[in-house]
Structure 1
Amino acid sequence: MSREDILPEERLPASLLTGFLGSGKTTLLSRLLRQPALAETAVIINEFGEIGLDHLLVENAPEQPVLLDSGCLCCTIRGDLIDTLRSLFRRRVKGGVPPFKRVVIESTGLADPAPILQTLMSDPLLADRFRLDGVIATVDAVNGMSQLDRHFESVKQAAVADRLVLTKTDLAEPATLAALQARLKALNPAAPQILARQGEVDGSRLFDAGLFNPALKTPDVQGWLRAEAYEAPRHDHDHGHDHGHEHGHTHEHGAQSASDRNRHDAHIRAFCLTAERPLDWERFTRFIETLIARDGDKLLRIKGVLNVAGFDTPVAVHGVQHLFHPPALLPAWPDAERRSRLVLIVKDLREEEIRQEFSPVTAN
């Protein structure tokens, strides 16, 4: 990853809509497609080779056939996701489909979100044409706690999200909803939690979650990174692998249940590395490449905004497991803040060791 790899941030935004089985992704998407926020949006339903049914629900929504009234295009993946996105972009250029300004990919409920994010990063042509705007995860307010306990896929979906949409909130008991919100806050401190009622959510709150505010045409580093969420004081037990346990149900005498002790999210940690001085790009590259080579499978997500020596404006980076998206040079700093901030969401990795490895990367 050389300095020449740093690209200007001018690509079509792509958003991933994920969430566990039955959490309401398709209902949410069908409602969103009627809103102005999703006008000129191409929608891809990712079934990973299964017989696709969700796309029928979307395509047959009232007054919305395959070519939707909003100008959206709905299609299903019949082969490789890379081929689908390449073809979609070519058809857009040639006028074979209505012009679209963003892509939304809906994943199947059992999917690990990492492969889809990796797809956007691994193909050079896609990386030149699309940028990850954000990950939206739906969480069932009624069954979410038990799903997080039993299915690690649901934990990963929530952990890497930029936006968390809590569905079926009108059906959940207030205490159940509060416990779920607290647990999600511990698992993913930076992601805003948006409550949906009967599948209704203001689409403007879910999209344009990336580095740019389209209305202002300026970087929105704080909104994309929210690094300050990771800098709040932690309880002593948060420094080990018991993160999130305090939000579970307890027995009468305060002892944690077996499900509390064995929660999947106990293995996931999220933290932010910062540097006051500009970073040396070669040293940062060596740090990242070493981390990926050694611990790639455990790096659920990395995203950051860096002050790199030799650049007047910030460099945005993000990656998933073994893959790193081409770094993007932003047009300007959004404010007087010049610190480098790198957020890591990891599984079974020690924060202190990574902090020590990161410390030498600042320029002399």
Structure 2
Amino acid sequence: MREDKKPPPPFPLTLITGFLGAGKTSLLNRLLRDPLAAGTLVLVNEFGEIGLDHLLVERVDGDMLVMTSGCLCCSIRGELIAALEDILRRRDNGRIAPFDRVIIETTGLADPAPVLHTIMTHPYLALRFRLDGVITLIDAVNGSDTLEAHEEAVKQAAMADRLVLSKTDLLTNGEGLPELRARLARLNPGAILLDAAQGQATPEALLNLGIYDPDQKLPDVRRWLNAEAYPARADHDHPPGSHAHAVHRALDVNRHDARIRAFCIRHEVPLSAMALDLFIELLQGAHGPKLLRLKGIVALADDLARPLVIQGVQHVFHPPRRLPAWPDGDHATRIVFILRDLDQAFVDALWRAVADIPSPDSPDRAALTGNPLAPCKAGLLD
């Protein structure tokens, strides 16, 4: 009796985005030359009827599909589903060489969220692919002007797991680079910032970023979450007359930047599964489109030894995953938020309500052991 073939473990999928002219194709070429990227299948998206970018992408050890019917963020979402389903069928039937990962390069005008939604919500694609990471390129020469003029570029930077600065070698004495670096760090503190011209954008730095390990080993949650990079306090916590508030106002003058909030909640007391479900449901229902990224590791009271990993993009959440054990000695809940047009105070209040945490000025708070809602930096660097 023949055994039914089981599909292989989910393939890691990487999204490379960045505004027009940021150097996505050049980065892709460099990645494909490296042995670590062997067995990669690439989807290249182009805007317009005639595709040109694919002529610049070298064919190394993998297949490449070119989609030319429009912007990946909207009009060809259905085509993206069809293309991914097709390559899976062809791989399973032996009609193309087996691939081990997929990289999607978007047009510079793309909003990353719909692409991520496609992978996370489609029942079959969610079974066969796992999000490995979002890589956003920033042109160091024109990056500041681009962020000033285009909200899409700000959103691309805010949603990234890795930010790659390109063309820094073209700057005169590094002019404007410290300011650009500081701006990106405020937009997305948790994203590792790499300089391509300095050789930092290596496959080791850009691939295998995700939490879902096909080998069932304990994942590197600290590297994935990078919670210690987030500020201990929100900007609005600083009094209007304080030095910190003045610095924030001096640096954060762009209207697009001002819409983004990035922070991390740390909770020392295990949470009930019902409370976590309620928190996510209320956050999704009331402000889903404002939730650019959410990812975290959660201590649940029903199984203290096995934490839950959660990850969401706007109103869409990847199925949560139970880890077989805590990956390190820190057993506190840590959830990273990147929001647009939503203040941290709302999320804090919602969390306190569902987790039954006394407010900061409540007399009952002193009765709690430790600090159940503390800055994410606490304990992570011990």
TM-score normalised per structure 2: 0.80
Deviations 1:56-106 (A, max 9, x none): 221xx3xx3xxx3xx222112365211211221222221121111111111
Counterpart residue number, 1:129: 128
1:179 aligns to 2:179 (yes or no): yes
Q: Is the 8 A contact 2:264 2:335 kept in 1?
A: yes
Instruction: Tell me the secondary structure at the aligned position of residue 347 of structure 2.
Output: helix
Deviation at 1:333, TM superposition (A): 1.5
Which one-letter code corresponds to 2:288 in the other structure? G
Instruction: Tell me the secondary structure at the aligned position of residue 99 of structure 2.
Output: coil
Counterpart residue number, 1:283: 275
Alignment of 1:3-14 (within 5 A): 11-14=10-13
Alignment of 1:29-44 (within 5 A): 29-44=28-43
Deviation at 1:184, TM superposition (A): 0.6
Partners of 2:277 and 2:29 in 1: how far apart? 42
Counterpart residue number, 2:217: 217
Counterpart residue number, 2:104: 105
Partners of 2:239 and 2:92 in 1: how far apart? 51
1:17 aligns to 2:12 (yes or no): no
Identity between Structure 1 and Structure 2 (%): 49
* Structure 2 runs not aligned, ≥5 long: 1-8, 70-75, 358-382
Equivalent residue in structure 2 for 1:349, among 339, 342, 348:
342
Deviations 1:19-52 (A, max 9, x none): 0000000111012111112111111112366533
Q: Is the 8 A contact 1:17 1:107 kept in 2?
A: yes
Deviation at 1:14, TM superposition (A): 0.7
Partners of 2:355 and 2:11 in 1: how far apart? 32
Instruction: Tell me the secondary structure at the aligned position of residue 176 of structure 2.
Output: helix
Deviation at 1:215, TM superposition (A): 9.1
Equivalent residue in structure 2 for 1:315, among 308, 324, 331:
308
1:301 aligns to 2:284 (yes or no): no
Partners of 2:93 and 2:10 in 1: how far apart? 18
Q: Is the 8 A contact 1:277 1:339 kept in 2?
A: yes
When residues 86 and 49 of structure 1 are mapped into structure 2, their CA distance, relative to the original with a 3 A threshold, is farther
When residues 47 and 329 of structure 1 are mapped into structure 2, their CA distance, relative to the original with a 3 A threshold, is farther
Deviations 1:158-180 (A, max 9, x none): 11100011000100231311111
Q: Give the aligned length.
A: 335
Partners of 1:236 and 1:289 in 2: how far apart? 26
When residues 111 and 87 of structure 1 are mapped into structure 2, their CA distance, relative to the original with a 3 A threshold, is same
When residues 282 and 52 of structure 1 are mapped into structure 2, their CA distance, relative to the original with a 3 A threshold, is farther
Counterpart residue number, 2:208: 208
Q: Is the 8 A contact 2:235 2:245 kept in 1?
A: no
Partners of 2:25 and 2:219 in 1: how far apart? 31
Which one-letter code corresponds to 2:155 in the other structure? K
Q: Which deviates more from structure 2 when the two are superposed, residues 267-276 or residues 303-312? A: 303-312
Q: Which deviates more from structure 2 when the two are superposed, residues 154-163 or residues 192-201? A: 192-201
Alignment of 1:1-364 (within 5 A): 11-47=10-46, 50-58=49-57, 61=58, 64=59, 68=60, 71-77=61-67, 80-173=79-172, 174-197=174-197, 201-211=201-211, 217-232=217-232, 246=247, 261-311=253-303, 312-362=305-355
Q: Which deviates more from structure 2 when the two are superposed, residues 346-355 or residues 273-282? A: 273-282
Deviations 1:196-235 (A, max 9, x none): 1298832111011112578993311011111111144566
Instruction: Tell me the secondary structure at the aligned position of residue 43 of structure 1.
Output: strand
Q: Is the 8 A contact 1:219 1:332 kept in 2?
A: no
Partners of 2:12 and 2:228 in 1: how far apart? 24
For the pair shown, which has the larger CA radius of gyration, 1 or 2? Answer: 2
Partners of 1:299 and 1:211 in 2: how far apart? 20
Partners of 1:319 and 1:43 in 2: how far apart? 24
Which one-letter code corresponds to 1:201 in the other structure? A
Which one-letter code corresponds to 1:346 in the other structure? L
Which one-letter code corresponds to 2:132 in the other structure? D
When residues 352 and 288 of structure 1 are mapped into structure 2, their CA distance, relative to the original with a 3 A threshold, is same
* Structure 1 runs not aligned, ≥5 long: 1-9, 249-255
Partners of 1:290 and 1:235 in 2: how far apart? 24
Higher RCO (Cα < 8 Å, 6 or more apart): 1
Over aligned residues, Cα RMSD in angstroms? 2.7
